[in-house]
Amino acid sequence: MHGPAMSGWLLVALCVTAGAYCLVRTRTSTGAERRTAADEAVMGLGMAVMAVPAAAASPPRWVWTAYAVVFGAASVRALWSARSGGHHLHHLVGSLAMVYMAVAMTAGGSHGAHGAGLPVLTGLLFAYYAVYVLRAGLALVPAGAAGTVGGGRRAGPEVALACRVSMGLAMLAMLVTM
């Protein structure tokens, strides 16, 4: 991606941390929670690799094609899972956004070119993630019970939600620097 190297590396660190946490969640979860955690781990780690500053590693054009194929497969999986609705629709949007960014980077050459994507689509994705981050962030605000996290809920779900907010913010940063 583009932008200053320091912010790129911070984005990589954020995505690796979120992806690693999601991998840990796959070991402690079962059923649908495990599948969600696995999907989020793939997204977080994929975003980390994609966010490596171009100055540090300028991948060949075929790498972006490989990203598009991997996240295309993730999109098909998310589409299949989205039949039950819920968070899988968000995974579908995220996977398709990753495909879009990979295709835009392929079109921009191995170094990527500013403006390689479609401004309208980039804007729509940006708006989606801005709303998603705000909604998810508001869900982290305690419901009002003093001394309890989130109105008395267990602390675990808040960490997963914080990871989702972090990955949403990372997606916003990636869309801006595309």
Q: Exposed/middle/buried for 91, CB within 10 Å: 0-12, 13-18, 19+?
A: buried
Per-residue pLDDT tens over the stretch 26-68: 998 888 888 888 989 999 999 999 888 877 777 888 888 999 9
CA distance 26 to 38: 6
Domain spans in the chain, listed from the N-terminal domain onward: 5-177
Whether pTM > 0.85 for this model: the answer is no
pLDDT tens profile 124-159: 999 999 999 999 999 888 765 444 444 444 446 788
Give every CB contact of residue 88 below 8 A, 6+ residues apart in sequence: 36, 39, 78, 81, 82
Taking only the tens place, the pLDDT of each residue in 64-98 is 899 999 999 999 988 988 887 677 889 999 999 99
Degrees, nearest 5: CA angle 102-55-170: 50
Looking at residue 100, the DSSP 8-state letter turns out to be H
